Amino acid sequence: MEMVEKSLLQELLLKGHWIWRWAYLQPPRDQSVGSEPVDVGVPQSLARAVLSRRSEYLRPSTVRIKVGTWNVAACTGTDKDLASWFTEEFETGEAISRLDISGDGPSKRPVESDDKGHKSVESESGEGYDLYVLGLQEVVDLSRTGEYMSRIYVDNGPMEKWTAAAEAALPPGYQLVVSEQMTGLLLLVYASPTIAPTISNVSTRQVGTGLLGYFGNKGAVATRLVLGETTKLLFVNCHLASGADTASLDRRCWDVGQIMFKTQFDSVVISGVSDDDGDRIGDEDYAFWFGDLNFRLDGLPGDDIRRLLTLHARGEYDLSNDKVPAPIEGGDGIIVTRTSESDDETTTMSSMHSRDHSFDQSFDSASSLPDPDDFPDDPSQDPASLQATIDSLLPHDQLRRVIAKQRLFHDGWREGPISFLPTFKYDVGTFGLFDTSEKQRAPSWCDRILYRTRKDREEYEKKAEALKEVKRKDEEMRARGLEQDDDVLFSYDPDADGGTLPPKAPTADYKAYDEYDEYDENDDGEALDDASQEEISLEFYNSFQRVTSSDHKPVVSTFTLNYDAVDQEKKAQIHAEIAFELDRAENEGRPGVTLIVEGGYGQTDGAVDFGEVGFFETHSCLITIANTSSAAASFEFLNESHSSEDESSAAKWLKTSFHRPDDDGHKATLGSSVTLEPGETVMVVIEARVSEISHVRGLNDASCKLDEVLVLRVEGGKDHFVPVHGTWLPSCFGRSIDELIRVPDYGIRKFIKDNNIQGTITYDWDVHCSAPRELFKLTEVIQTMAERCVADEAMLEELTIPRDPGWPLDPSTWTIEADKQDALKAALISALDSHSPLADALPVELLSTQKLEIYSSVLLLFLASLMDGLIPPHLWAKLSIELPNLTSTPVNAWPDVKNHILDSLSTSPSHNIAFVFLTATLSRVVAELSPATQPPTPALGALTRRLSFRPNETEAARTRRIRERRYAELVSPLLFRSSDDKDKAKRDRERVVLEMFLKRDDRS
């Protein structure tokens, strides 16, 4: 890998111009999961007052976390091994202190409450851990980093593969909290169904430290989340620079420094109160740093390490053992286990035969392992044990040395006792066989899991500050010339002079030393204090040697964390108490009003519930406001929280108006602000109506809800909050054709409700019709009603069809009153959504012309609401390229162009059928409404002047052509979807296409 990086670096330096340009022009990556939105309906003062009493509504809680890390080396089949080491439950206890190279995994361990009353959520759910945190490295081939850079932001293959593997291995119900990939680094965090709702403020960042100091082939992916509104957890998955030389060690230390310096998360928002600044590494309560840290063993020959560890793995190191090692199958060769992706049989490797024959052999059966019953109570005290060998190798570990020298990870970071074989480097597909390649890398513990609590960091900082103070006083004494005074040794008072012992190593497993003394018998570290034991406890820390699909072994740690979570019931009680106290503290002389809700469904405590709300339906509620104070009160409803860009904004579906009954009993509409004298009252009408297509789409895909809080601002008084709620009725409007063809014939409302569909209708559902059934119903009733209008005009003297060529598709030609249109549209929309007859939805007293106008308006609304249009953008772009001269195409060539267009649309059958069906219907309507003889109208004459007369064209043909053109002008903008709707040439091409299909085939 080192040579690969150097060759790539040389190649990239030759292309330095575009590399730097590409790096600096990349947009910042957004976080995986956004922070909780600020509740703008709650005043900051109230929220902060509740937050100040947080200690009163906290309860002790416990969470179990499993952290796993694995460098998969871009090997195939590694995802299939995930369940065998990451998700299986295993017994902890002795597993921490006893070497386990069997790889079979300990047994499952029950979870119980501790003596402090903390109870793990896992014990309530009965399976799994509360959080599964998986950090992977080299999920892509880093030797091809230059090629991968061009597709890093679009290739989701590795993430999808590993997410599928994790979700298949995890217990049911776990929710994905974080999924973030940076080149070869992948971080996945899953939460149990009980813990997931308590997680908020998830923020994830990437820091690249690889090629040129910023590429993502090395670096880290870090995520910060808040648990139970109180506890910040940090997870850092890293891949540091490789190499065993001193320069590589320095580069690893530089990588860690860059990750620490560049990582900054979003601000934490709790109950509407936001932190001033974003978090950095060190601001969390619990931190976990894991991954391929790449730290090696210094000062030991690699061949000796491999030989020694291989003897241990074969059980031949302890000569006093009476057991005879089991024979190894395969003769003199090395037995290589076949991976899940290999089709070859067991392979015999003979590349090692030139060395010691005893080192060349391996084993592939559990019978060759040491008997666990033969381990002493403390394996480290047995000089022939593998644990003793590991203990003799660990002082040469680079990570421990840099910690001891306080270069990095010395500020409170800890690691569990290492009682497992090195995790790197093995021959892929083998067990216990270290690197036999040309490089013959020395075995090392490259894959590690470190952890730290806030208290660990604070204790380190406290000791560091104390040491700094001692050094300062020593310097003062030397400056005063007291260092030669023998009396100083006896007169120095540690309590008075602030003296303290130098800070000890920040972990139980690291000893502060500069040079290793192999005969130091006191290198056991110190036990953690009781407080730290209560905060976090390490249950398991081990590797899985039987996983052979990569040259690294996976490493797992499990932890139990004790923290204080928010008790929502107690918090609600305190919230009510504070609100009541604030009310009592208000000055009685300040203006105040009382609100009485008199409408809606199931309203409680001043809340308004409009019940089920459908598209274009209007619901209203009445609120009476009375001035119950002794001073005049001026008030108005605030709209400052209602952003037009917010899909759930009240401005999109709520309308408020003040009314006061006049002498005739009618309601006189007042302005947006009202002033009441003491004892006076006024009425407020709140109307709910969803009429915007963008809002309908958001409600259909569940990205927003009909929930809002109206704020009545009383000038100089207390604000009043009116919660408003509605239940959205799913609609066929605002959806795509691919969704609508999957709706059965009993309507979309029943389909969504019966199948409990949340959001869009996916491709998993069966297709029930070739084109949207709603379009069939609308076009059918429009064609029938057009024929009815012509017949009624002939039979009824009082009915006359408007002669405007755009009628009934042009809203300016409609004869029905504007105030009645919305209610009639709502009735038709409800009939479409519930699959009711459209003819029964309209009052029988309506004239046929008015019915045709309403049917046409709903058809136009339906076409405009289709997310992809009848002609999707990609099809229209293709047609625009193939037919660049549509506007200048002669009429006699239109049939050939139509056939070409239909051939192109055939690639999307549902859109093709819907387009043909619509244009055929419009063509029939044109024929019905353009009789052979009819009196001219002013509107028709104006349009006629804009069109050139054609020789030998009859008046009836000219009338029909004018109507075809007008229909095409009105409908074409609704059918075609493209990026630029203001391009006049594009609009002309769209009109010509539609006009071709409206033209009668029997005309030349």
- What's the confidence (pLDDT) of residue 319? 53
Residue 876 domain-assigned (yes or no)? yes
In whole angstroms, give the CA distance from residue 294 to residue 302: 16
Beta-carbon contacts of residue 559 (< 8 Å; ≥ 6 apart)? 64, 65, 66, 67, 288, 451, 536, 537, 538, 539
Of 712, 728, 744, the last residue of a domain is 728
Same-domain pairing of 670 and 782? no
Q: What is the mean pLDDT of each run of 10 residues along the chain (1004 residues)?
A: 46 38 36 36 64 82 95 93 83 40 43 43 54 95 62 71 94 94 94 93 93 86 92 96 92 95 90 77 94 92 84 67 44 37 36 37 43 56 80 93 93 94 91 84 94 94 91 86 55 51 41 40 42 74 92 95 87 82 68 82 73 91 90 83 48 86 70 90 91 91 89 89 91 92 91 90 90 93 92 88 91 89 93 92 92 94 90 85 79 84 88 91 90 50 50 78 91 81 80 86 50
Residue 595 lies in a domain: yes
Q: Which domain holds residue 979?
A: 773-998
563 neighbors 228 (Cβ within 8 angstroms): yes
Mean model confidence pLDDT for the chain: 78
Same domain, 924 and 780: yes
What integer pLDDT is reported at residue 330 of this predicted model? 33
Question: Is residue 693 located within the same domain as residue 817?
Answer: no
Q: Which of 743, 727, 725 is nearest to 735 (CA)?
A: 743
Instruction: Evaluate whether residue 733 is within a structural domain.
Output: no
Per-residue confidence (pLDDT) for residue 527, from 0 to 100: 41
pLDDT digits (tens, 9 = 90+) for 671-726: 889 999 999 999 999 999 999 999 999 999 888 889 898 999 999 888 888 899 99
Are β-strands 720-728 and 608-613 bridged in parallel, bridged antiparallel, or unpaired? parallel
Instruction: Report phi then psi at 908, rounded to 5.
Output: -125, 85
Verify that 935 and 994 share a domain, yes or no: yes
Residue 843 lies in a domain: yes
Using one digit for the tens of pLDDT, what is the confidence trace for 832-870?
A: 999 899 999 999 999 999 999 999 999 999 999 998 888
CATH number of the domain encompassing residue 783: 1.10.555.10
Boundary (domain end) residue, out of 667, 693, 728:
728
- Residues 689 and 809 reside in one and the same domain: no
pLDDT of residue 351: 35
Q: Is the peptide bond before 262 cis (omega within 30 degrees of 0)?
A: no
Nearest to 970 by CA among 811, 803, 855, 774: 811
* Single residue among 706, 728, 750 that ends a domain in this structure: 728
Pair 592, 715 in one domain: yes
**In the prediction, which pLDDT does 741 show?**
93
225, 178 contact by CB (below 8 A): yes
The token duo for 564 is 């204080």
Instruction: Classify residue 751: in a domain, yes or no.
Output: no
**Residues 721, 802: one domain?**
no
- Count the domains in the chain: 2
Q: Domain check: are 848 and 938 in the same one?
A: yes
CATH code of the domain containing 707: 2.60.40.10
Instruction: For residue 696, give the amino acid letter.
Output: V
Distance spanning both ends of the chain, measured CA to CA: 73
Cα dihedral 486, 492, 498, 501 in deg (nearest 10): 70
pLDDT of residue 377: 58
Q: Is residue 296 a part of any domain in this protein?
A: no
947 within a domain of the structure (yes/no) = yes
Q: Is residue 761 part of a domain?
A: no
Cβ partners under 8 Å of residue 617, min gap 6:
689, 690, 826, 830
